[in-house]
Amino acid sequence: LGIPVAIKDLLNVKGQPCTCSSKILEGYTAPYDATVITKLREAGAVLLGRVNMDEFAMGSSTENAALGKTSNPWNLDHVPGGSSGGSAACVAADEAIASLGSDTGGSIRQPAAFCGCVGVKPTYGRVSRYGLTAFASSLDQIGPLAKTVKDSAILLETLCGHDALDSSSIEMEVPAFGANLTDDTSLAGMKLGLPKEYFVEGMDPEVEKAVRDAVEHCKGLGAEIVDVSLPHSKYAIAVYYIIATAEASANLARFDGIRYGLRVDGKDPIELYGKTRAAGFGAEVKRRIILGTYVLSSGYYDAYYKRAQKVRTLIRNDFTEVFKQCDAILAPVTPTPAYKLGEKTDDPLKMYLDDILTTPANLAGNCALSLPCGFSSLGLPIGLQIIGDSFAEEAILKVGHAYEQTTGWHKKRPVL
* Catalytic residue annotation: 8, 83, 107
Alpha-helical segments (H) within 45-180: 85-92, 109-115, 149-159
Strand order in the sheet with 328-332: 46-51, 4-8, 98-102, 142-146, 118-121, 367-375, 381-388, 328-332, 191-195, 224-228
Q: Any idea how long the chain is?
A: 416
Residue 138 CA to its chain's centroid (Å): 14
Q: Using an 8 Å Cβ cutoff, are 53 and 82 in contact? A: yes
Residue 222's closest CA among 371, 327, 150, 373?
Answer: 327
Instruction: Tell me how far apart the alpha carbons of residues 367 and 240 are, in angstroms, rounded to a whole number.
Output: 17
Cα distances from 28 to residues 19, 159, 284, 327, in angstroms, run: 7, 25, 21, 45
Instruction: Tell me how far apart the alpha carbons of residues 321 and 389 are, in angstroms, rounded to a whole number.
Output: 10
Q: Is the dihedral of CA 180, 5, 70, 134 positive or negative?
A: positive
Q: Please give the helix or strand (H or E) that residue 192 lies within, else none.
A: strand 191-195
Q: State the CB neighbour count (10 A cutoff) for residue 1.
A: 17
